[in-house]
Structure 1
Amino acid sequence: MDDTTTLLIHLTITVGIVVGLIVLAKINPVVSLVIGALYLGLAAGLGYDGTTVAVSEGFGILMAEVGLIIGFGVMLGTLLSAMGTLHRVVDGMLRLFGAKRSPHVLGLASGVVFPAIYFDVALVILGPMARSISLRTGMSIAPLAGALAIGLEVALLMVPPGAAALAIAAALDLPLGTMLMVGIPFGIVVIVVSIALHTLLMHFTWNDAKDDDPLTDPEHTGEIASYGLSSGAESSGEQAAGGQDQQSPQARPGGGGTALADRHTGSADAAPGDDGPGKQLPLLVALLPLLVPVLLIVADTSTSAAGAEVDLLGFLGNPVVALLIGLLLGVALAMPSLGRTGVEEVIVAAASTSGVILLFTGVAGSLGQVISETNVGDLVAGLFSANAAFPLVMAWLVAAMLRLAQGSGSVAAITAAALLAPVVDSMGLPGVLIWLAAASGAAFGGHVTDNTFWIFKTLLGLSVRGTFQVYTVAQAILSFVGLGSVLLLSIFV
């Protein structure tokens, strides 16, 4: 057996070890990835010292690139959710575009406007709003719930500073400015198309008697969100100003920033009829913590691409500095409504969430470093060189299989990107395409092994069959739309 065949076998065994430990042995993905990296290093001939050094260095290199970015991004997103800013954005978009377009409003708001808010937290905030809109307008819950499943997955995987998007990009060494300029328009396109296709499909497959669960439906449990469309909007199709920014009782189990928002946003989320809304910051001001970092990063990337290097802009547009500025702005704006203690609780909750993400991101870097120090990268690049589209399909397929097997979209996307990262340069294929292909694949087929599947079921009051339709099917549509968009994009990039 020649060396090429042996390396391919060892790489296959490595993937099998990682998937098997996660799915069958129920071992944490962080531990499973380290074990897989150690096996590949030893099997590929790096030796004992070489393998351990590669694992440690890969972790450190990736943390140096993305650690603070992920930490600051999650803190910023959680802080904005605690301030009620996401509610205000969605309410404003509903008033502007009307209830009939509410699926696209929910999808675009969750997917493009607030990608830094972690998936489960944003779901707990927006889920009751979707149910409220459905009940007050007579619209089926299916397109609204499907839009949330699509938008939140795009936010996590495809639009910076979504946690998994940043981790994937770090493995592929992609500039954050480039990600923003590509990820945001890409995310908008796949959200709009996917929601349209899913809504059309639900006309034929959704059955209220089988898919809605009256035992957990908020209409029957009395847990209707107090925000959402007013009764007058049922006929006008517009969001009433009086229903703005109200936290549902259902939002409390979400923990982290969501629970804190319920406790501390007295002035930011006042009840209808109170004087509270008059005390709110203008929405544009409330969004400054998000807008300022994005503008700084994009400005720096644009000037650098044009050949005009500005030292000060290069400093301020550095992702770490830009997100730190946004975080400090957010703290300053949140202090009057949340108080010093409330802000500190939000930051601590966000740090706890980001810690798990950082660990997994780091060990994905360990696996990538081991691959880069063996001949596996050159071997895979040679296999892919005959067809530029093949590595994109392969990245999608690996991520999709991992998502089906173990449930986590983040784990699936980052693992697929780490496996192919070492061969990107040798293929001459833009890393941004590998990122989007892996992210699209990781959206495929989330089901009962995914804890968010059950959050969807409970929070939105659905049967298991209904949850499959608005979660599994909706994200599968997103996955295929994403793959098609990546392949089309590869023709022009």
Structure 2
Amino acid sequence: MPEWTILAVVAVAIIAVVLMIVKLHVNPVIALAIGAAAIGLMSGLGAVGTVETMATGFGDTMAEAGLLIAWGVLIGSLLNRMGAITRLVETLLKAFGPKGVPYAIGVSFATYLQTIFVDVMIVLAAPLARRIAPRLGKAGVGIMAATFAISLEVGIALMVPGIGAVMIAASLGIPIGQMLLWGVVVVVPTVIISILLMTIAFRAGFWKAETDELAMIDDGGDRPADGAGPEDAPRSVAGATRSIPVADADAQRSAVAVAEHDDEGLRRLPLLVLFAPLLLSLVLIASGALLDVAELEVPPMQFLGAPAIALLIGVIGTAIIARRVLGRTELERALVQGFKDAGQIFALTGVGGALAAVIAAGELGPLLTQYLGASAFAPILLVWVFAAVLHIAVGSVTLSAMTAAGILAPVAASLGLNPVLVGLAAGAGALFCIHVTSNTFWLLQSFLGQSVRGALKSVTVGVSVASLVALGMVLLLSLVL
């Protein structure tokens, strides 16, 4: 097949997927499946080959990520139902003080709290953020909004067990433990530097309270003045920045109610106990990854450090705690809600793997390798640009990151580039220019009392700064890996 034909097939298919999602409001799962089938048929795989390749890609991806997604979502659902986030933010405020709390919250949200859905996290933590903001000065609202936006979105795209990071790792065949370890190396400095830069800019005059903030009525700290809730905010046609549905209004109201409930069992348990199973899971995964890097064989730790086993331990431990805090009935409801929320994530993850498999089976990889040469920097920059452009068009962090990573994965393999770098670059690019197609944008605008102009500064500019900082971190990491 001529070179221009190969490029045209993939380009037309990707553009068609974007148009289906943005203009025709086609569900991202269906649009991706159509795109994968079209690329397979037009690139010469044939009808049988296309179906087999899509099925193989779907199965391989789900084998890698399916259990991880299920366990992560269940842990998040249980922690959410127990109201652990409210207590955590209150504790961080007491421990770090007003000036240090944005960084403490940012690192927490971006790392070990990535099992919690973004929309639910905002609903639960926004009231506390509004109380902290006045203690940060005139730009306090902007600083807290940028902290939330940067940390939540960076965590989704780059940090295991964030949904985006898990899906990217599965798409590229990256060991979850390595994605976790190198994700921490990129995520922590990215969050801290980005929050610092936005804080400096806001305090220098970039944030103007008179035009960037809206008056809020304190009605208990859970709803904006106009009464709009998450169910009233505009929704991304791609299904939000995570490419999954917003938690339904009943689930969010239940989460807020439980968070506010004066549960004596919850108050008796130290905060560390509530998060201990999740933290143990992450430590086990990291330990297993370190053993792999050191090429050491310790069978018991290799078993416990396997991500599926480690997160299962986290689910069991969190469920035991939730049983005491919530009772059996609420525990069952939290588990049911978790499985419900995981459904479309499974479908999107598998279909994303099918698309990547079809692209990898064609001749696009060798063709791009020929033009890009042997430089490790060119593929990293190209992955970032692809993901950034796709995100601007589609409004989905995970969808754009997975698609860009899938297209460039064959190039990385041919050049000997570590797939972790490709995955992190894709995640970084997918953060660029989060705007009005994002649920995060509208939730932060409503729940933190920002005008649209203010949200454009704190969310769009803030997360774009984080995208560029993360790119710089990945480029530095490429000098080591």
Whether these two folds match at TM > 0.5 is: yes
- Structure 1 counterpart SS, 2:262: coil
Pair 1:448 & 2:436 matched? yes
The residue number in structure 2 matching 1:208 is 209
- Structure 2 counterpart SS, 1:224: coil
The residue number in structure 2 matching 1:154 is 154
Counterpart amino acid of 1:463?
A: S
The residue number in structure 2 matching 1:383 is 371
Question: What per-residue deviation string (whole Å, max 9, x for no partner) do you get for residues 181-226 of structure 1?
Answer: 1112321100000001111122222111111112xx2xx2534369
Higher RCO (CA < 8 A, seq sep 6+): 2
Map 1:16-55; keep pairs closer than 5 Å. 16-55=15-54
Pair 1:270 & 2:267 matched? no
Residues 323 and 14 of structure 1: CA distance in aligned 2, closer, same or farther (over 3 Å): same
In structure 2, how many angstroms separate the alpha carbons of the residues matched to 1:310 and 1:259?
46
Query: 8 Å contact 1:377–1:423 — kept in the other structure?
Result: yes
TM-score calculated relative to the size of structure 2: 0.90
Question: What is the deviation of 1:319?
Answer: 0.9
- Structure 1 counterpart SS, 2:78: helix
Residues 66 and 293 of structure 1: CA distance in aligned 2, closer, same or farther (over 3 Å): same
Pair 1:105 & 2:104 matched? yes
Pair 1:457 & 2:456 matched? no
Residues 386 and 296 of structure 1: CA distance in aligned 2, closer, same or farther (over 3 Å): closer
Question: What per-residue deviation string (whole Å, max 9, x for no partner) do you get for residues 28-59 of structure 1?
Answer: 11111111111111111011111112112211
The residue number in structure 1 matching 2:244 is none
The residue number in structure 1 matching 2:237 is none
Pair 1:314 & 2:302 matched? yes
Query: 8 Å contact 1:406–1:450 — kept in the other structure?
Result: no
Q: CA RMSD in A?
A: 2.2
Query: 8 Å contact 1:256–1:349 — kept in the other structure?
Result: no
Question: What per-residue deviation string (whole Å, max 9, x for no partner) do you get for residues 126-173 of structure 1?
Answer: 222111212466552001110000000012111100011100011111
The residue number in structure 1 matching 2:238 is none
Percent of aligned pairs with the same residue?
37
The residue number in structure 2 matching 1:180 is 180
- Structure 1 counterpart SS, 2:327: helix
Query: 8 Å contact 1:82–1:257 — kept in the other structure?
Result: no
Structure 1: runs of 5 or more not aligned: 227-248
In structure 2, how many angstroms separate the alpha carbons of the residues matched to 1:23 and 1:320?
35
Structure 2: runs of 5 or more not aligned: 233-246
Residues 338 and 261 of structure 1: CA distance in aligned 2, closer, same or farther (over 3 Å): farther
In structure 2, how many angstroms separate the alpha carbons of the residues matched to 1:265 and 1:26?
34
In structure 1, how many angstroms separate the alpha carbons of the residues matched to 2:94 and 2:45?
61
In structure 2, how many angstroms separate the alpha carbons of the residues matched to 1:259 and 1:328?
25
Question: What is the deviation of 1:81?
Answer: 2.2
In structure 2, how many angstroms separate the alpha carbons of the residues matched to 1:265 and 1:202?
31
The residue number in structure 1 matching 2:414 is 426
Question: What is the deviation of 1:437?
Answer: 0.8
* Higher CA-based Rg: 1
The residue number in structure 1 matching 2:14 is 15
- Structure 2 counterpart SS, 1:98: helix
Question: What is the deviation of 1:371?
Answer: 1.3
- Structure 2 counterpart SS, 1:465: helix
In structure 1, how many angstroms separate the alpha carbons of the residues matched to 2:281 and 2:2?
48
Query: 8 Å contact 1:252–1:259 — kept in the other structure?
Result: no
The residue number in structure 2 matching 1:71 is 70
Aligned residue pairs: how many?
460
- Structure 2 counterpart SS, 1:462: coil
Query: 8 Å contact 1:128–1:251 — kept in the other structure?
Result: no
Map 1:366-405; keep pairs closer than 5 Å. 366-405=354-393
Question: What is the deviation of 1:383?
Answer: 2.3
Query: 8 Å contact 2:124–2:256 — kept in the other structure?
Result: no
- Structure 1 counterpart SS, 2:435: coil
Counterpart amino acid of 1:467?
A: A
TM-score calculated relative to the size of structure 1: 0.88
